[in-house]
Structure 1
């Protein structure tokens, strides 16, 4: 009985394991050049379930024992909304993307310079920093790097994508459609652009 009473005073321990895994996956899927569709289709329901579980478990505890046990275990009860709000802020400012790119940029720039100086396309897939880069090619004024994050729904029957990645474009001038006619180019961190292929649903 003692273990049962103790487990009812706070969210179960497995809940915090799930919360950690969902947070890490959300950061990963939001740290690519463009958001993966998996972030919406999988992470949103997961976050909704976590928040609802926390809310109804807390509501049940308050109705049973009042605010006493909630205040006693305040940090465990506050952890979910703090993590959720932190995740929302991080996604709003593209925090996962900036952290992952900043850690990877020196290696990716060295690789981009190598690609830009040659005429051959590198079709191999290798980790360049924290990004899995495939099918890199020189373009006029820089290099195009295709990032393959192995999205679950990518190239499925419902979503067809020509890819996404980064363009290293140090030469100045007009970078419009630097990655090709079938892509859209987005300003990022000079001399880098983000390129995204056109998707069809």
Structure 2
């Protein structure tokens, strides 16, 4: 790209001054012939040399100027791109922050929900264990009450049986079997309710 610009620039500079260049080369040719080359022509040659030098320096300055301009344009384009990228970053930053916030809120809610479920499960298990304990205690109390009632009935039956057997003994109508039952009742080795079941 630089070479192309240099060639175009040089051609444009030298294209305008092609007559002076021709004169310069013409004078150089005449210089080789010392008889034709006089003082006036030497001055012309000097002028042509100075003009050529000026044109060369002008061309170099123009080339440097073109290179610097291209460099500045390139840097300005790079800076513009950087600014565009920075603008995009600034525009995207709130969305990224919002996404991060939503993600962290989701994680917190998930953890909170999980911990709540675990806590509810533990409370439910403790409630069930407590309920079972109360039910077992109730059954134990009912069993004790039932056993007490059975013991009282047993005593009542023994008392009734003993009264009947005593009546039979008083009447003299006591059989051998009834005598054995009477002895068992008096010693407390009998369970009358078991026999009735």
TM-score by length of 2: 0.26
More strand by share: 1
Larger Rg: 2
More helix by share: 2
